[in-house]
Structure formats: structure tokens, C-alpha cells
Copies of this chain bind each other. A is one copy, B any other.
Amino acid sequence: MEKVLGIDIGGTSIKVGMFSAEGTLEAVTKIPTGEIVSEAAFAVVTEGLKNLLAENGATPDDVIAIGLDVPGPVDDEGKVGMLANIELDPEGLQAAIKRTFTKANLAFVNDANAAALGELWQGTAKGANSFVLIAIGTGVGGGVVVNGKLVAGAFGAGGEIGHVTVKRDETESCGCGRKGCLEQYASAKGIVTQYKKECKRLGIEPVALDGPTDTLSVFNAHRAGDEAAIAALLGMCDTLGYAMAQISVVVDPQVYLIGGGVGGGFNLYAEDLRNSFRKYCLAPSAATRILPASLGNDAAMYGCAYQALLERGA
């Protein structure tokens, strides 16, 4: 039986999904890794993969494609760029995996792009010809799919929509070094920052917050009618809708999917976001649908597996 593996690479562990070639998730495991930069660490990964297969009645030779998603740029040719937040030697890991899985096609995919591909394979976007996934978590990532294919970009910056400029006169810098990026306002951190500002402005005592990205508490405050929370989410929708209008004059997708942790609160702000987009977009694009993503944290695992499978067929 042909199998496909999707490997979601995190800072301290990897999460692996074993899929059928048709896209059914048959098993999942988590392998603690730490830094993945030595032969010993590569072996931990390959042994973990072999164990997952053995536990599910499969062998390395059954594996026809393996996708790996990484939190950093991957260009149109599949080359991994600078990884700021994890310790990973992509070439070394790739070589080790190839030695064990001789029949598998390997592909690296940027994590937000992978999440978009996951939604295309088995999520909300199944069958869509064009859509943009906006993954809102600590930062704002994105994945652009047009003509049924991912737009990774010539330099790996395709779908970096957290860096659409929304405020040219911003004085504080974004993590990218530029100023006024979407990510500064519409990320989990941006929403919490905005909530605190609104509390101060309205003279409201903020609810207890579990750190600088605790949007869950802001969402709960919103549900309880907290005015500052309502204003903060309205501001987020205004900014995000404006950025989406900029994206639409470039690729004009059928659908936007909102994913990531902040996507979990979609119903709270869906109408405000739709109204904001329609306010800013070019007239023909007003019919664009805005929907929640459906695969949650598994989306990237699905999507990198799918990309490896697609490239094998190509």
C-alpha cells in the first residue's frame, strides 16, 4: 500500500502524519528531536518514521512521497532559505531520509504555504482553483494558490502577506525590519496589543491575559460584551480587510480562508471582516468568499505531504 508522510518540523519535536495516497490521515505521531543538525539527530527522525510505519503495518519501501514543512522561506525550486526560529540542517536531514526511504520523493514547503496546500487537498479549499490562506497566529503567514497551484515565489516570498504594508507612517518596526506590516496589527500579538490600547483609551480594566498573544481571553471578553475587545477586533478586521483588498488586485482569488489560532475565533468577527473587505476591494471582487480554514494545526502536515506527492507526479 502506497503511503505518504507529512512532517511538521517544530523547534523541539516533529509531528508526523502517515497518509494514504488518496489523502486519508491514517496515523499520527510526535517525535521529540531538539536541534536537527547532526547525524545522531537525523537518525532519531528516521527511526521515528520507521517505527510509525511498522506500528501501522507498512515499510519504508511503501513510502512514495515525504513532505517537510519548515518555518521559513522555500523558493519555487524547493530550496530552503534562512530559518530564524529553528535549528535545522535541511540538506543533512534530506540526505538521511533519502538513504532510508529510497523510493520516496522529498519536498520542503514553507509552513504557511503547506497549510494552504493542506486545505486544498483535504480542507475547506478542496477543489478550489484559486484561494489565499491567511494563517493568523503569533505572526501572520499566508499561502497563495492560483490555477490550482501554490505560488511559492521566485525568492520564497510568495504569500508573505503578513508583510503587506497597511500603515505607511508607522514608526515601530516589524520583525522584517520594515514598518507598518499587516503582522504588526492583525497577528495574535497585534490583537492583544490593540486590546490593551483600547482598554486604556476607554478607561476599562483589561481582563487577565496569559501572555502577549492570548487572543483567547480577548475573544472571551468580546463574547461578554467587553467594549475594548470589540473595538480591538473591529480594528483588526479593518486592517486585515484592507490588506486582503490589496491581495485581490494582484491575484483576485475565489476564496480567502482564515486559519491559525486566531482563525478559531472566526465566527466572532466574520461579518466585520467581510464588510471591511467589501469596503476596500475593487468592485468586481466584492463577491469573494471569506471562510474559516478547517484543518487547524494539522493543515501544514497535510499540505507538505500533498506537495511531495504532487511533485512526484510532475
Give Cα distance in the complex from A155 to B249, angstroms.
10
Give Cα distance in the complex from A288 to B156, angstroms.
12
Contacts of A252 in B (CB 8 A): 151-158, 160
Q: CB of A12 within 8 A of chain B?
A: no
Binds B, one of A26-34, A162-170, A207-215: A162-170
Give Cα distance in the complex from A225 to B1, angstroms.
73
- Check if A147 sits within 8 Å of B147, measured CB to CB: yes
Q: CB of A137 within 8 A of chain B?
A: no
Given contacts A76-B130, A285-B155, contact A144 B251 (CB under 8 A): yes
Say whether chain A's binding surface is mostly helix, strand, loop, or mixed.
Answer: loop
- Check if A155 sits within 8 Å of B288, measured CB to CB: yes
Contacts of A176 in B (CB 8 A): 282-283
- Check if B163 sits within 8 Å of A282, measured CB to CB: yes
The residues in A between 227 and 276 inclusive whose CB is less than 8 angstroms from any CB of B are 242, 245-254
Q: CB of A95 within 8 A of chain B?
A: no
A154 to chain B, nearest CB (A): 4
Q: CB of A17 within 8 A of chain B?
A: no
Give Cα distance in the complex from A272 to B266, angstroms.
43
Given contacts A146-B151, A147-B151, A154-B129, contact A250 B285 (CB under 8 A): no
- Check if B147 sits within 8 Å of A149, measured CB to CB: yes
Given contacts A146-B151, A246-B164, A249-B164, contact A157 B81 (CB under 8 A): no
- Check if B147 sits within 8 Å of A285, measured CB to CB: no
Total count of chain A residues near the partner, CB < 8 A: 46
Give Cα distance in the complex from A147 to B254, angstroms.
18
Give Cα distance in the complex from A247 to B163, angstroms.
11
Question: Which of the listed residues A168, A178, A282, A283 has the most CB atoms from chain B within 10 Å of its own CB?
Answer: A282
Give Cα distance in the complex from A287 to B144, angstroms.
21
Which chain B residue has the least Cβ–Cβ distance from A167? B168
Q: CB of A313 within 8 A of chain B?
A: no
* Per-residue B-contact encoding for A53-95, CB less than 8 Å = 1, 0 else: 0000000000000000000010010000100000000000000
Which chain B residue has the least Cβ–Cβ distance from A130? B154
- Check if B249 sits within 8 Å of A160, measured CB to CB: yes
A192 to chain B, nearest CB (A): 24
- Check if A246 sits within 8 Å of B165, measured CB to CB: yes
Q: CB of A284 within 8 A of chain B?
A: yes
What are 20 sample pairs from A and B whose C-beta atoms fall under 8 A apart?
A73-B284, A76-B129, A130-B153, A130-B154, A146-B149, A147-B147, A147-B149, A151-B251, A153-B251, A155-B285, A155-B287, A157-B252, A159-B250, A160-B249, A161-B249, A165-B246, A168-B168, A176-B282, A246-B250, A250-B251
